Amino acid sequence: MSHGTSPSPSTFAALRDLAREHPVEVTVRGGCMAPLLADGERVEVAPARVYWPGDVVVFLAADGRLLVHRLLGWRPWAGALACVTRGDGCPCHDAPVPHSRVLGRVIAPQRARAAAGDRLRAVASFLRLAGRRLGGRR
């Protein structure tokens, strides 16, 4: 599977089940996570009990593609909490991502694991986004 592909719902469910047993490899396509992750780079993904701001996560987007983006925080959506994500090189955040669409977080290569600075930057981005929403700007 790679960023930009469109797995069927049953394929995504099988991939998620497989990831629960053993990390799965995903090939990054595109430059939205550059320079952290390059186009064509393979990353290992595993599910987590809790996802924290700053984690680089792989999820099934609303349009059916697998995306590799950074978790900024959470927001209420459809009666539950959904992830707020954005590629490091993208100007705006993604549509809300329900937990059921998250494949896991990137665990390898090591440099893709969130450090304290990544977490602080993610939280700051999320707070700016929330402030714009509360202030009426979209």
Any idea which fold 9-134 has? Umud Fragment, subunit A (2.10.109)
Mean pLDDT confidence for 2-30: 86
Single out the residue of 22, 20, 26, 112 nearest to residue 71, CA to CA.
112
Checking if the pLDDT of 3 tops 90, the result is no
Domain parsing of the chain, residue ranges: 9-134
Residue 11, classed as helix, strand or coil, is helix
- The pLDDT of residue 59: 97
| pLDDT band of 1, cuts 50, 70, 90 | very low
- The pLDDT of residue 5: 58
| pLDDT band of 8, cuts 50, 70, 90 | confident
Residue 38, classed as helix, strand or coil, is coil
Cα 57 from Cα 107, distance rounded (Å): 9
- The pLDDT of residue 96: 95
Q: For the chain, give the percent of residues with pLDDT over 90.
A: 70
Tell me the pLDDT tens digit for each residue of 86-136: 999 999 999 999 999 999 999 999 888 888 888 888 989 999 888 887 776
Single out the residue of 79, 64, 77, 84 nearest to residue 132, CA to CA.
84
